[in-house]
Structure 1
Amino acid sequence: MSIGDDMELIHGSGNVFRDFGRDDADLRQAKALMASEIIKILDTRQWTTRKAEEATGISHADFSRIRRAKVERFTLDQLMTILTRLGQEVELSVNVHPRQDAPHPHASA
Structure 2
Amino acid sequence: MKKDKLEVVRGSDNPFRDIGSPNADTKLLKADLSGKIIDILDKKGWSQRQASKETGIDQADICRIRNADLKGFTIDRLVKILNNLNYTVEVTVRPNRRRTRVAVHASV
Fold conserved between structures, TM > 0.5: yes
Matched, 1:60 2:69: no
Where does 1:42-53 land on structure 2 (aligned, <5 Å)? Answer: 42-53=41-52
d(CA) in 1 for partners of 2:60 and 2:67? 11
Tell me which amino acid in the other structure corresponds to 2:22.
Answer: D
The structure with the largest alpha-carbon Rg is 1
For residues 95 and 87 of structure 1, the distance between their equivalents in structure 2, rounded to whole angstroms, comes to: 26
Between the two structures, name the one with larger relative contact order (CA 8 Å, sep ≥ 6): 2
2:93 alignment partner in structure 1: 94
Superposition map of 1:1-109 within 5 A: 6-95=5-94, 98-99=100-101
- Identity %, equivalent residues: 43
Supply the AA of the counterpart residue of 1:76: I
CA apart distance, 1:93: 1.1
Residue equivalent to 1:104: none
TM-score (norm 2): 0.82
**2:75 and 2:9 mapped to 1: Cα distance?**
30
Q: Secondary structure at the match of 2:91?
A: coil
1:29-85 CA distances to partner (integer Å, 9 max, x unpaired)? 000000000000011111111000111211111111000000111010000000000
CA–CA distance in 2 between the matches of 1:6 and 1:47?
46
How far apart, in 2, do the equivalents of 1:23 and 1:96 lie?
20
Please give the TM-score of this superposition, normalised by the length of structure 1.
Answer: 0.81
Q: CA deviation at 1:23?
A: 1.9
- Matched residue type, 2:81: I
Rounded to whole Å, the distance in 2 between the matches of 1:14 and 1:48 is 32
Amino acid of the structure 2 residue aligned with 1:85: N
Letter in 2 for 1:8: E
Deviation at 1:95, TM superposition (A): 3.1
Structure 1: runs of 5+ lacking an equivalent: 100-109
Deviates more, 1:5-14 or 1:44-53: 5-14
What residue ranges of structure 2 are gaps of 5+ in the alignment? 102-108
